[in-house]
Amino acid sequence: MKTETTHCEEYHELILLADSGELTHDSRRELDMHLRDCPACAQYQNDIRRIIHDSREALPGGLPSEQTVSNIIAHAGNRHGRIIFFTQPWRAVAGIAAVLAVVMTTYIAFQTPEQRTGTSAYEAGDLHVMIALASEGESEIPASDSAGSDDAQLKELAGRLLRFQGFNTEESEDPEDITDLFLPTALQLRNTREFPEETNV
């Protein structure tokens, strides 16, 4: 059998729960009924409410300094980018793509023409000799129909070579293919120029 004290101590717990808003409606009604009939518990409720109120005022409290709050927000701002990066994949992908684009652009911009075309310095030199030969031949070729046709062909090839050297990146032919095309024509023109009379005779 419960003593009166034990019985009241159970209500003391209910008083605490009522003040913290954790009491069910039914328990609250039961507590109110008890408090009406028990002056000791009613006094206990008054006392602890007063102690809690006064303690709330008396104990150290206040707020953190503005500087502390600013430091926290600044830290959150720094960290925020990383959170976004890992929680939103599309942003991460866009970020990686942007970095790659910058790296590729920088790499291409600082490449030499030889690196860009993939030809060696020696091969490029050969092409220059051939262009010079072609130009020389162009100025001395007779204005016959066949020679005119060769001339046009030569000009076109020379133009393609020049474009290939970096003046026009739209051309993408393999340098070896161009050399194969260009060299026989250049040699033929050279022979024509060097031995025209013998050929005619």
Partner 1 sequence: MANTGNVKPLSDAELIASYVGGELNSLEVLVNRHRSALFGYIMNMTANRVNADDVFQEVWIRAIKKIGNFKENNFPGWLMRIARNHVIDEARRKKPDLSLDCETPDGMSLKQAIPNNSRTPDREIADSELGLKINAAVEKLPPEQKEVFILRVKSDMPFKEISRIQGTSINTALARMQYALTRLRTILKDDYAQLERAI
Q: Which of 3, 4, 24, 61 binds partner 1 (CB under 8 A)?
A: 61
CB 92, CB 85: distance < 8 Å: yes
CB 168, CB 159: distance < 8 Å: no
Helical H segments across the chain, by residue range: 4-19, 25-37, 39-58, 66-87, 89-109, 113-117, 121-140, 145-162, 175-194, 196-200
User: Is 76 or 152 the residue whose CB approaches partner 1 more closely?
Assistant: 76
Q: Does 64 bind partner 1 (CB under 8 A)?
A: yes
Q: Does 63 bind partner 1 (CB under 8 A)?
A: yes
Q: Which of 22, 173, 176, 194 binds partner 1 (CB under 8 A)?
A: 22
Q: Does 52 bind partner 1 (CB under 8 A)?
A: yes
> Of the candidates 190, 171, 196, which has an alpha carbon nearest to the alpha carbon of residue 131?
190
Binding characters for partner 1, 69-108, by CB under 8 A (x = yes): x-xxx-xxx-xx--xx-xx---------------------
**What's the closest the beta carbon of residue 36 comes to partner 1, in angstroms?**
22
- Residue 134 to residues 56, 87, 151, 158, Cα–Cα distance (Å): 100, 63, 9, 7
Residues at the contact surface with partner 1, assessed by CB under 8 A:
9, 12-13, 16-17, 20-22, 47-48, 50-52, 54-65, 68-69, 71-73, 75-77, 79-80, 83-84, 86-87
